[in-house]
Amino acid sequence: MERAVLHCDLNNFYASVECRDFPHLRGKAVAVCGRQEDRHGIVLAKNELAKQYGVSTGEPVFKAMQKCPQLVVTPPHYDRYLYFSNLAKEIYLSFTDRIEPFGIDECWLDVTGSRALFGTPYEIAEAIRKQFCSRLGLTVSVGVSFNKIFAKLASDLKKPNATTVITKADFKETLWKLPVEYMLGVGRATLKKLHEAGIFTIGELAQSNENYLYAMFGKHGSELWNNANGRNDAPVAHIQDREPPKSIGNSMTCPRDLEREEQAERVLLYLSEKVAGRMYRGGVVACGVHLMIKDRLFGTKQYQQTLEMPTRRVKDIYAAACRMLRQHYKWKEPIRALGVSGFMLAPQAQREQLSFFTDTQACIREDRLEENIAGLKEKYGKHIVTYGTLLGGDFDLYQKDTGNRIPYRPFQK
Ligand SMILES: [Mg+2]
Q: What is the pLDDT of residues 341-352, one digit of tens each?
A: 999 888 776 443
Distance between Cα 11 and ligand 1 center (Å): 5
How much is the CA Rg of the chain, to the nearest whole Å?
Answer: 24
Q: Verify that 364 and 316 share a domain, yes or no.
A: yes
109 occurs within a structural domain? yes
| Annotated catalytic residue within 106, 273, 308, 370 | 106
Please state, in angstroms and as integers, the Cα–Cα distance from residue 214 to each residue in 220, 308, 314, following that order: 7, 40, 34
Which one is predicted more confidently, 323 or 370? 323
Asked whether residue 235 is assigned to any structural domain, the reply reads no
CA distance 249 to 237: 26
> Is the model's pTM score more than 0.85?
no
393: Cβ–Cβ under 8 A, 6 or more apart, which residues? Answer: none
> Do 162 and 74 belong together in one domain?
yes
263 Cα distance to chain centroid: 32
- Measure 120 CA to ligand 1 centroid, in angstroms: 24
Do 178 and 132 share a structural domain? no
Is the predicted pLDDT of residue 290 greater than 90, yes or no?
yes
**Of 83, 22, 34, nearest in space to 59 by CA:** 34
Q: Is 164 among the domain residues?
A: yes
Q: How far is the CA of 178 from the centre of ligand 1 (A)?
A: 19
- How many Å lie between the centroid of ligand 1 and the Cα of residue 305? 25
Residues 320 and 310 in one domain: yes
Same domain, 54 and 185: no
Tell me the pLDDT band of 104, cut-offs 50, 70 and 90: confident
| 234: in domain | no
pLDDT of residue 402: 37
pLDDT value at position 40? 55
What stretch of H or E contains 128?
helix 121-131
Quick check: helix, strand or coil at residue 112?
Answer: helix
The verdict on 52 and 139 lying in the same domain is yes
Is residue 268 located within the same domain as residue 396? yes
Q: Is residue 66 part of a domain?
A: yes
pLDDT at 266: 92
Question: What DSSP letter does each residue of 145-185 carry, written as one string?
Answer: ESSHHHHHHHHHHS-SS-EEE--TTTHHHHHTTSBGGGSTT
> Pick from 195, 229, 263: which residue ends a domain?
229
Look up residue 355 and give its DSSP letter: G
CB-based contact 390:266 (threshold 8 Å): yes
CATH of the domain at 321: 3.30.1490.100
312 and 360 in one domain?
Answer: yes
Q: How far apart are CA 174 and CA 202, in angstroms?
A: 10
Could you tell me the distance, in angstroms and rounded to a whole number, from the CA of residue 379 to the centre of ligand 1? 34
293/339 Cα distance (integer angstroms) = 7
Nearest residue to 142 via CA among 253, 127, 238, 134: 127
> Higher pLDDT residue, 372 or 339?
339
Does residue 277 sit in the same domain as residue 399? yes
Domain that holds residue 101: 1-168
Q: Is residue 363 part of a domain?
A: yes
Tell me, yes or no, whether 118 and 184 share the same domain: no
What 3-state class would DSSP assign to 74?
Answer: strand
Do 204 and 265 lie in one domain? The reply is no
For strands 284-295 and 335-347, give the pairing: antiparallel
Extract long-range pairs of 377-380: CB within 8 Å, 24+ residues apart. 377/277, 378/277, 378/281
User: What kind and span of H or E run contains 9?
Assistant: strand 5-10
Whether 349 and 202 share a structural domain? no
Q: How many domains is the chain built from?
A: 3
Which of 168, 195, 218 is the endpoint of a domain?
A: 168
Expressed in angstroms and rounded, the spacing between residue 107 Cα and the centre of ligand 1 is: 10
- Short-list 95, 76, 73, CA closest to 84: 76
Q: Is residue 213 part of a domain?
A: yes
Instruction: Single out the residue in 115, 133, 168 at which a domain terminates.
Output: 168
Task: Please report, for the domain that includes residue 186, its CATH number.
Answer: 1.10.150.20
Question: Could you tell me the distance, in angstroms and rounded to a whole number, from the CA of residue 190 to the centre of ligand 1?
Answer: 23
The CA 9 to ligand 1 mean position distance, Å, reads 5
Does the pLDDT value for residue 391 go beyond 70?
A: no
Ligand 1 centroid, distance to 351 Cα (angstroms): 15
- What CATH number does the domain containing 151 carry? 3.30.70.270
pLDDT tens by residue, 176-216:
999 999 999 998 889 999 999 999 999 999 999 999 999 99
Q: SS3 for 304?
A: strand
The pLDDT of residue 384 is above 70:
no
**Would you give the distance in Å from CA 339 to the centre of its chain?**
23
CA distance 399 to 48: 54
Distance 93 CA to ligand 1 centre (A): 19
402 found inside a domain: yes
What pLDDT shows up at residue 353? 45
333 catalytic, yes or no?
Answer: no
